Amino acid sequence: MQNYKLTIAYDGTDYHGWQMQANARTIQGELTRVLTLLDHRKVTLHGAGRTDAGVHAEAQVASVFLEREFAPDQLRDAINGNLNRDLRVTGVELADEGFNARFSAKKKTYRYAICTAPVVRPCDFRYVYHYRGALDVAAMRCAAALLVGEHDFSAFTIAALEIEDRVRRLTRLDVETDGQGIRITAAADGFLRYMVRTIAGTLIDVGRGRRSAEMVGAALASRRREDAGATAPAHGLTLVRVDY
């Protein structure tokens, strides 16, 4: 058997997230369906992370063992030939037997896009959160700086999360501007559920003047979900890359 590393891009608008579900269209489900067809047996696909419903990816990573032998480009084209155009395998590599897309990952990078223009361009509306009005970027950057480092991010995930270890090392949290709005880029060794979207929602509150940087620091220290901001909408979030 050969282990393959797949790099995957998708528009998550019409998917119920990454994780396979019995009665819903998911990224893992669609890829597993096609790979099972190609390998003539049920396969197990491991993803680097479980993106939520509506979240997009430029370079999600998955790994799978196949019994049939494929050249990387041949496998890429065979998979894409059986998928809808909102989901594509952009690259295939031969991987070592010990490689696992989830457990071998060292860092993940996400981008949250906010459009502050009066009108969202038709080519962008699926991928940005539209906030009409000015946001205080300097204040957002001050608040973001408080979150960088190794912390317990309990305030920035769902309160009922079953995972006991909520400590993550956030190595990057940049707030940048472009011609159409603001990009929040977050990189960490791992993320809790809704963590990036809750950080984005909290920083948006700071930009609107509804929350101070000191309040963000206090929320981090309190570990209470109610002390952080709202969870920003899923469609503004994109998984940019996974590092190994």
Q: Which of 29, 5, 6, 34 is nearest to 16 (CA)?
A: 29
Angle 195-208/213-222 helices, nearest 10 degrees? 150
- From CA 181, how far away is CA 179, in angstroms rounded? 6
Greatest extent of the chain over all pairs of C-alpha atoms, in Å? 58
Other C-beta atoms lying within 10 Å of the C-beta of residue 101: 23
Among candidate residues 11, 14, 39, 52, the one labeled active-site is 52
What size, in residues, is the chain? 244
* Residue 52 annotated as catalytic: yes
How far CA 187 is from CA of 19, 50, 107, 137, in Å, comes to: 22, 16, 7, 19
Q: Check if the beta carbon of residue 1 is closer than 8 Å to that of residue 66.
A: yes
DSSP string, 174-209: EEEE-SSEEEEEEEES---TTHHHHHHHHHHHHHHT
How far CA 205 is from CA of 130, 137, 161, 227, in Å, comes to: 14, 11, 23, 12
Query: Which residues are annotated as catalytic?
Result: 52
